[in-house]
Structure 1
């Protein structure tokens, strides 16, 4: 396995774990602050919009190169 292949796999695995961990943190934050359904929706919306922006950026890079 080359260094580039390892870096590609590590990026995918580590980012997936990071997003799952961030989702847990946001869920716990919303639960402790007694955020309602709308509050929890907004918290997760912002998290996943950030993830979607990162994925869209990667998609654009691959399409333009």
Structure 2
């Protein structure tokens, strides 16, 4: 396994862990602020939009590199 393959795997693993940790932080924020069901959904949608945007950007870059 060379350095490039290791870096790609490590980045995928650590980004997945980071996104999961951010999800836990949002859930904990909603719980501690007593946001309720609607507030929790709103927090996940609004704060999760950045994560979704990052994933979409990554997928689009990979698709464009194939052309």
Q: TM-score range by the shorter chain?
A: 0.7 to 0.9
Which one has more relative contact order, counting CA pairs under 8 Å at least 6 apart?
1
Listed as ranges, the gaps of 5+ residues in structure 2 are: none
Q: Distance in 2 between matches of 1:31 and 1:16?
A: 23
**TM-score normalised to the size of structure 2?**
0.85
- Give yes or no for the alignment of 1:47 onto 2:47: yes
TM-superposed CA distance for 1:48, in Å, is 2.6
For these two proteins, the number of residue pairs brought into alignment is 65
Match of 2:12 in 1: 12
Match of 1:34 in 2: 34
Listed as ranges, the gaps of 5+ residues in structure 1 are: none
**TM-score normalised to the size of structure 1?**
0.88
Q: Distance in 2 between matches of 1:58 and 1:28?
A: 27
Cα-Cα RMSD: 1.1
3-state secondary structure, aligned to 2:35: coil
TM-superposed CA distance for 1:10, in Å, is 0.8
